[in-house]
Copies of this chain bind each other. A is one copy, B any other.
Amino acid sequence: MQEPLKTIKETRPLIHHITNWVTIYECANITRAFGALPVMAHAPEECADMTRISSALVLNIGTLTNELIDAMILSAKAANEKKIPVVLDAVGVGATKFRDYMAAKIIDSVNIDIIKGNYSEIAKLAGEKAQTKGVETTSINADPRKIAQELATSKSCIVVMTGKEDIISNGKKIFVVRNGHELMGSIVGTGCMAASVIGSFAAVNPDHFDAAKDALCYFGIAGELAAEVSRGPGSFKVNLYDEAFSLSDENAEKMLNFEEC
């Protein structure tokens, strides 16, 4: 039996984020709640240095600028050299041409190990017609599982597609993760936080397909446990941190809800 949480808590991997200014605190805080150590550093003079002492890099284009994208590419190159996992959260792709262009630029410039997005963001990256409503998914015409698989194959990476059911593909196989709770959608930032959790799990598991699945399961389980004792989005967020912090591999094991297709 693998024990990802135990490994994270024992090794305390440093997770370097270059992320958006809306949910940056929540990303840092959930990273710490699961036992890893967050750091955020985006200055071009130091971002690659910070990546070099880290165990994973999480990129999020939620409030992108040209300067921030440059920093992301600098850091991702350092991560590629050091062979640590790079997670890209393609926030808002499909909402503006600038986001579409910049996400493509990152993916074309460096090796991304795990691309994450909601249904319309991933569909847009996969070349489908899709319109993201700000950072919110809209319904897509194509089969989400097929899209995840195609993008994973064409980009030689893991694709994580979050939504009603979470779909993870390595191009060959698919995990469908059903852990989670609808209250996770009632607060801002759970999508971004998921990328931080994926980065934390991938930092200690070279099988990134497996790590992404574990991360979404564990995060979803914390959400399920939190929902049981919450009366709305305020108390839910509080309880989500408490549950993530208290979760053990043993308890998570009993609640795993995913299937391999």
Contact = CB atoms under 8 A, between A and B. Distances in A.
Q: Which secondary structure dominates chain A's binding surface? A: mixed
A186 interface: yes
Copies of this chain, whole number: 3
Contact of A29 (B24, B97, B188, B245): B188
A104 interface: no
Interface string A209-223: 000000000000000
A88 to B, nearest CB: 17
A125 B232 CA distance: 38
A186 to B, nearest CB: 6
Nearest to A68: B43
A110 interface: no
Interface of A: 12, 14, 16, 20-26, 28-29, 32-33, 37-43, 45-46, 49-50, 53-54, 62-66, 92, 95-99, 131, 133-136, 186-189, 231-235, 237-243, 245-246
Q: List 6 A-B pairs, minimum CB-CB distance, nearest first.
A: A232-B242, A39-B134, A234-B241, A46-B98, A234-B238, A46-B96
